[in-house]
Amino acid sequence: MSTHCTAPARRGSRKGTLVAGALATTFLTGISLVGSPAPAHADDGNTYFKTPEEVIDFLSQSAPLNRKEAIKGYPVNGQDSQQIKLADVEKVYPYKEALNDVPAKLGSGFNLAQSAPTEHGPSITTEDPDIRKSSSDDKEPWLSNWDAKSMCGQPSHNPGGEPMPCGFVGVLDEKYPIMQTSAGVMGKASFDYKFGATVGQDTSQTSGWSVGGKVTSELATPGGPGGGKAGTELNFTYSESTTTTNKWTTMVEQTNKYEVPDRVNGWVEGRANGGRYIGYIVYKLDFTNANGERRQKMVLIPARVLIQAPGNSVPMTFVKRQG
């Protein structure tokens, strides 16, 4: 992952027009800025945003997010460490809707066989969907309480069968989560800030796990008001549409200046170019028990996962904020 991003050329300086080179992000090349909030001091190149909504509207132009996303394989990276409850997922993404999305997003390998006799043995009994109550309820009683990550990609329990398929389907829950911020500075003041980010090695230990990695970023304001340095780490994963293309790449370290107007509190904010999606880890189990009875079922486990914005290869955007 040695690709580096370069700063775009500075656009027009007419008052009231956004100046791309003045934005705290230097990685948004070739995008239209029509509809972005007008900066308070565009004439001196000091573009800032007053509200989170303004930031989100701007990022939506350069790193648009799909309302629904899917991951092929178990999302070993990017999962929310907090417990996700079924009741919370159901409010925005009912499991019945997710069951319809699974084969459409992840492929026909998730289709369940019809209950009918086969030439190789007894009929296949298709169970009702196994819908778990929370993200911590991920043990499989049919197979000695293996957890979901261990289940994914394992060889089929039936001779000649395909490996156990698994994945994730979800709907957008949080756009461009904040990774870090600098200390607030009361103006009138001026400070330099330096930022950059690296992307860790992709994780793909087995065929049953999705690929992703770890973003490590650093934001420094050396000397002057608000001086200090802070680093943060954020795990992410790739959607099924970006597994092999447009992966996040390391950002070039860069130093910019922030002029905070008089009687205004100003800071720099770093946001991930991606979204948190709430939905279900899903796997299909095709199992033959000790009595020779073949059974199938679909398992859905509540989950929340950070997924990279499709088509965007830069992990973070830094913007100037005032409030």
Q: Which two tokens stand for residue 8?
A: 């775009």
- If you average pLDDT over every residue of the chain, what do you get? 77
Give the residue-averaged pLDDT of 17-33.
Answer: 30
Mean pLDDT lowest for which of 43-52, 142-151, 244-253, 298-307?
Answer: 43-52
SS3 content of the chain, % helix, strand, coil (to 5): 15, 40, 45
Coil, strand or helix at 86? helix
Predicted local distance difference test score (pLDDT) of residue 94: 97
pLDDT category at 9 given cuts 50, 70, 90 is very low
Q: What is the pLDDT of residue 1?
A: 34
Average pLDDT estimate for 296-320: 90
Query: Does residue 213 contact residue 199 with C-beta atoms inside 8 Å?
Result: yes
Q: Cβ–Cβ contacts within 10 Å for residue 221, how many?
A: 22
Name the amino acid, one letter, at 32: S
Helix (H, G, I), strand (E, B), or coil: what is residue 191? strand
Asked if residues 166 and 147 have their Cβ atoms less than 8 Å apart, the reply is no
What pairs with residue 198 in β-bridges? 216
Tokens for 289? 């028990």
Eight-class DSSP state of 246: S
Question: Would you give the DSSP letter of residue 143?
Answer: G
| Percent of the chain's residues with pLDDT above 90 | 30
pLDDT exceeds cutoff 90 at 82: yes
Q: What is the pLDDT of residue 117?
A: 52
Q: Which two tokens stand for residue 300?
A: 């859905």
Mean pLDDT across 112-125: 62
| All residues at 6 or more sequence positions from 6 whose CB lies less than 8 Å from its CB, including other chains | 26, 252
Confidence of residue 44 (pLDDT cuts 50, 70, 90): very low
| Residue given tokens 């029509």 in the structure block | 34
Strand-pair category, 251-260 with 189-199:
antiparallel
**pLDDT number for residue 2:** 32
Averaged pLDDT for residues 34-62: 65
- Average of per-residue pLDDT across 272-284: 95
Per-residue pLDDT, 188 = 87
pLDDT greater at residue 236 or residue 277: 277
> 5: closest CA among 315, 252, 312, 245?
252
For 214-267, the pLDDT digits (tens) are: 888 888 876 555 556 667 787 888 887 665 567 788 888 888 888 888 888 988
Least confident of 2-16, 47-61, 153-167, 298-312: 2-16
Mean pLDDT of 283-301: 84
pTM value? 0.79
- Residue 24 has a pLDDT of 34
Among the ranges given (4-13, 39-48, 125-134, 247-256), the one the predictor scored with the smallest mean pLDDT: 4-13
